[in-house]
Amino acid sequence: MIPVLSLKCYHCIPDPSGTCTNTQTACPSQCGSVTIVVNATGQQKETSNKGCAPAAECVSGSLNLGIMKTTVNTQCCSTDLCNSQNVSALPFKSPNGKQCYYCADKDCSGTVDCLGDEDQCFSFTANAAGVQVKIKGCVTRSICNAPTWSMQTAGISGDLSCCSGNLCNGAEGVKISLLFVLIPLLSSFHFL
């Protein structure tokens, strides 16, 4: 048998109070560190995680849901314990002239101004605990192209579609409140 080589990486997922302790873990290919900032109704929260990072999840950019804005900054590396430092948070940027539809309560006909490098409109139909929710807004292309299987670890499955035209993600109604699955959706962007 040929021995499988693995990479030593720091692993740190914060508890609800926001603190965590670095431990070491074996990873198949890359280490990663990610900082996520969520701004909802004027309240801002920053979270940093470390762990194994599949190449497809090494993305940086922003997501704008109208009622909530999020930035994700990921740094990946491939040497032992290279993810010792937290990466800096990305700032929220100015409007770029593009608009997309977003959902608020049961209505998906509101428009939101996309920010910075948010060059795609998206529509995501999420299924969590037997409840279906439609989420729409602006997103950076690299986040839009990240694999949706990572959200399955949080118990969320669904269909994601992205488009590049102005207001290309269509207006429509939804069945329940968006906030029901919003927090698990964002927390699913953490490393395994």
Domain ranges, residue 126: 7-187
Give the C-alpha distances (Å, rounded to integers) separating 55 from 28, 61, 163, 167. 11, 15, 23, 30
DSSP 57: G
Task: For residue 154, name the pLDDT band (cuts at 50, 70, 90).
Answer: very low
Calculate mean pLDDT across residues 58-74.
91
CA–CA separation, 81 and 57 (whole Å)? 18
How much is the pTM? Answer: 0.79
CA–CA separation, 45 and 42 (whole Å)? 10
Whether 20 is covered by a domain: the verdict is yes
Give the range with max mean pLDDT: 61-65, 104-108, 149-153, 176-180.
61-65
Whether 46 is covered by a domain: the verdict is yes
Task: For residue 176, name the pLDDT band (cuts at 50, 70, 90).
Answer: very low
pLDDT score for 17: 80
Of residues 185 and 136, the one with the higher pLDDT is 136
Calculate mean pLDDT across residues 56-84.
91
Task: For residue 127, name the pLDDT band (cuts at 50, 70, 90).
Answer: confident
CA–CA separation, 58 and 1 (whole Å)? 31
Q: What is the mean pLDDT of the chain?
A: 81
Phi and psi, residue 45, nearest 5°? -135, 135
User: Number of structural domains, the chain?
Assistant: 1
Give the C-alpha distances (Å, rounded to integers) separating 65 from 38, 113, 184. 11, 10, 15
- By mean pLDDT, which of 12-16, 73-77, 110-114, 170-174 is the weakest? 170-174
Whether 2 is covered by a domain: the verdict is no
Closest CA to 8 of 90, 82, 91: 82
Whether 192 is covered by a domain: the verdict is no
For the domain that residue 168 is a member of, what is the CATH number? Answer: 2.10.60.10
Whether 23 is covered by a domain: the verdict is yes
Whether 182 is covered by a domain: the verdict is yes
Calculate mean pLDDT across residues 126-130.
73
Task: For residue 4, name the pLDDT band (cuts at 50, 70, 90).
Answer: low
